[in-house]
Amino acid sequence: MSSVAQAVAAVAMRDVRKLFRQRGRLLAAMIRPLLWLVVIGGGFAAAEPAARGANYQDFLVPGVLGMTVLFGAALAALATVYDKESGVMRMLVIAPIPHAWIVAAKAAGAVVVALIQATLLLLVLAPFGYFGAAVSWPWLAVGLAATALVCACLGILVAACTQTLDNYAGMMNFFLFPVFFLSGSLYPVERLPAALKLAAAANPYTHGVDLLRHATHTGPAFSRATDLAVILVFSAAAIAVAGARFAAADVFESRVRRLAS
């Protein structure tokens, strides 16, 4: 393994190790989607018995899987901002790897963390019959991986443009919730008003959830090719922009400048 690959793996493994040490975080990652699925899904299923021919709870399954991946990956990537504020970033910037690679490493860690959480949720849901015989497991795996990638890249892009996470509630309200609500997680995209429909189509996370809908046969809105193309193009662009910002902005330089002023 090259020294750069080893460094990237070390950063990713650190994030995974931290996930398993924070049992509360793991538990929350399970409880949140279950609440949506059982309580809100149950409630809406009673009010709207069928969405596109499917039971609303069945319709919601890819949505809560996507939600788990979104929160898991984006929050893991956003933790980069905490790393900037703490000593960890000092350890990373002085390592003999290009600074742009640190961004890729953090994104890789966020993907792995999100996939672990999604896998645990799958293990919880499967015995209750939420995944019928029609589910395409290989496509579900592809969908989860692609969704994790796009969410990690969204998180890393925001982290690259953020100096502090003082306003955590603001971050949730102005970033994570809009991304989640403006997707096809809770309702079919094509039934949204035109402006929201356009916003949902432009939201890269929508295409991750849509891939999960393909795998679970719960009414996808776009073709698989469109979903994959949007996800790959957005992820590549996000990594490039975040990497460039990270390498040029120099976490250190900005801090030194603040101190000097």
Partner 1 sequence: MTDLDGALAVAASGLAKQYGATPAVQAIDLAIPNGQFFGLLGPNGAGKTTTIHMLSSLVAPSAGAARVAGFDLRLQRLQIRRRIGVVFQGLALDLSLSAAENLRFAGRLNGLRSTEIERRSGELLALFGLEQHRHAPVSALSGGMRRALDIARGVIHRPRILFLDEPTSGLDLLNRRAIWRHIADLRKLSGMTVFLTTHYLEEAADCDAVAFLNAGRIVQRGKPAELVDALGRCLIEVETDQPGEVARRLQPRLGAALIEPAQVSFACAQEPADLASLERELGGAARALRWRRPNLNDVFLRINQPHDRRCAA
Q: In whole angstroms, how close is the CB of 20 to partner 1 at the nearest point?
A: 12
Residues within the interface to partner 1 (CB under 8 A): 3, 6-7, 9-11, 14, 17-18, 21, 86-88, 90-98, 250, 252-253, 256-257, 259-261
Nearer to partner 1, 32 or 255 (CB): 255
Nearer to partner 1, 52 or 257 (CB): 257
Nearer to partner 1, 6 or 173 (CB): 6
Comparing CA positions, the residue from 74, 247, 93, 228 lying closest to residue 156 is 74
Q: In whole angstroms, how close is the CB of 184 to partner 1 at the nearest point?
A: 36
- At CB < 8 A and 24+ separation, what contacts does 96-102 make? 96/3, 97/3, 97/4, 97/7, 97/8, 98/4, 98/247, 99/243, 99/246, 99/247, 99/250, 100/243, 100/244, 100/246, 100/247, 101/4, 101/7, 101/8, 101/243, 102/11, 102/246
Q: In whole angstroms, how close is the CB of 257 to partner 1 at the nearest point?
A: 5
Q: In whole angstroms, how close is the CB of 231 to partner 1 at the nearest point?
A: 29
Q: In whole angstroms, how close is the CB of 260 to partner 1 at the nearest point?
A: 5
Nearer to partner 1, 11 or 158 (CB): 11
- With beta carbons less than 8 A apart as the criterion, state whether 66 and 205 touch: yes
- Residue 54: phi and psi, rounded to 5, are -110, 150
Nearer to partner 1, 98 or 188 (CB): 98
Comparing CA positions, the residue from 155, 104, 144 lying closest to residue 227 is 144
